[in-house]
Structure 1
């Protein structure tokens, strides 16, 4: 699985003009399931995210996790994280898991975060979403379960 984490002070996702998920302060997490990913992969990624020290301590150093700060997460499915730009100018997305598998893993990732104690809201899988956020830092981190 791939994930792009952005530390935020606030964020929301809307579909057809209605807010369906929001968060903050905490993280916006864009997630992409890849072929071969499993529920274990999603759970491992959620555990990593929950412990990653991306938030400032009392000395202003990135030394605290989302769990330690009591932050929340907004998880959004983002198949374009699998973009292959090695040929031509139009990205290919065949490196992303198929829709059925991807949706199940996306939802499992969000549920795993909740089970670990991170309050979590989501976007709507497959919908045309508008995500707005106020990036804090900015702090942006790429995670890939492969390699």
Structure 2
């Protein structure tokens, strides 16, 4: 009798383990490969500034040279983008930026000029753009290596 109960418990335990590891056919989820669904780009519910590039490297320049680069950006948002201020890390860098609102979908630019007079070696200049964009302040970077003038 003990052998019979032991065998019954063994078979019951083995059966319940099998039931847990094999999903019932009704629980199988059919895979759906419907490629007709088109994703629509999400437009932010406010102004959004997106730069074509976040960084520009002038390469090697001679001390005393003035170089400039134009950073282009687009307002990818749904409301006008207003740039309130553009700040630089030192007086050697000057900027021009749009004073009028940039409408949704429009592209505009910020021009940065770097004067290397009195500078030597690696230069990394951060330009901070303050605006009403949803992401808050945005930064771009200009890089150069200033070599001694002959």
Structure showing greater relative contact order (alpha-carbon pairs closer than 8 Å, 6 or more residues apart) = 1
Query: Normalising to structure 2: TM-score of the pair?
Result: 0.22
Higher helix share: 1
Query: Normalising to structure 1: TM-score of the pair?
Result: 0.22
Larger radius of gyration: 2
